[in-house]
Amino acid sequence: MKDIKKVVQEKYSYIAKQTKQQNETSCCGSSSCCGEVDYTIFSDDYSHLKGYNKDADLGLGCGIPTEFAGIRSGDSVLDLGSGAGNDCFVARAIVGEKGQVTGIDFTDAMIEKARINNQKLGFTNIEFIKGDIEEMPLPDNTYDVIISNCVLNLVPDKQKAFKEIYRVLKPGGHFCVSDVVILGNLPEKIKLDAEMYAGCVSGAINKGEYIKIIEKNGFTEINIKKEKEIEIPNSILLNYMTLDELRKFKKDKTGIFSITVTANK
């Protein structure tokens, strides 16, 4: 698990140094860095949202969790895997001056980029801290709302992650996360490949298992608010399987989906 975390840190450190446009054209500007996995194939368009900041948008999400998060003015919001701050700035536009937004990320380069972006904007009620989602350096019962965008699939121990989410949420609080899940079985080569893990694919688990983990950690009123299939180009899949295997993959209707899920504590 530590090896996977190291790979994720390295990949997203490279990505942090690139623009969204560079990520779209060559993942993180170097084929030796990220192979052929294009991280932006998952992302949604944020540009119409209040609070949107172009410098903070690296195209790394797979949904727009703030859309269904029920954030209110004055809320305290935590963003898991906050990257360059994209969702935090959108959340801040909703919570206003009286609210508080915290972003947590375990990649130094992302934390630095987010803090620079925030300094330019001059917000005093946003903070970015370094930490591991499996063991967050945060107090119990602190946040009204937790959001996350295409990050929990990168966490090796999702059981620990949701246990931590439950711990730091206030009683009566809730979360809204956008994430990648699968239907059916991924080929073994994809499951074992660290590069595809950092690209959000091999780290994804079955949708049913994902929901069960949420239930096991005590959450109620679990709802899937949005679901869309993600098309991985055949040119990428053929790096991990033969043409015959690809045909079977398509025939078996194995699906890779982004879902946006809400649940209450």
Which residue segments constitute the domains of the chain, with CATH numbers given?
A: 2-264 (3.40.50.150)
Q: What is the pLDDT of residues 186-229, one digit of tens each?
A: 777 666 654 554 455 657 788 999 999 999 999 999 999 999 88
What is the phi/psi pair of residue 105, to 5°? -150, 150
Other C-beta atoms closer than 10 Å to the C-beta of 137 total 9
Name the residue type at position 148. Answer: S
213 Cβ contact partners less than 8 Å away, ≥ 6 residues apart: 158, 159, 162
Determine the residue type at 256: I
179: nearest Cα among 240, 109, 228: 228
The DSSP code sequence of 177-214 is: EEEEEEES---HHHHH-HHHHHTTSTT-EEHHHHHHHH
Position 88 scores a pLDDT of 98
Phi first, then psi, for residue 29 (nearest 5°) are 85, 0
Q: How confident is the model at residue 233 (pLDDT cuts 50, 70, 90)?
A: confident
Query: What pLDDT digit, counting tens, does each position of 154-166 carry?
Result: 888 999 999 999 9
pLDDT digits (tens, 9 = 90+) for 51-79: 999 889 877 788 999 999 999 999 999 99
DSSP secondary structure letter of residue 83 = T
Residue 40 has pLDDT above 70, yes or no: no
What mean pLDDT comes out for the span 6-17?
Answer: 59
Does 35 have pLDDT greater than 70? no
Question: How many alpha carbons fall within 13 Å on the CB side of residue 36?
Answer: 9
Does residue 1 carry a pLDDT above 50?
no
Picking from 141, 55, 46, the residue whose alpha carbon sits closest to that of residue 91 is 46
User: Is 212:22 a contact under the CB 8 Å cutoff?
Assistant: no
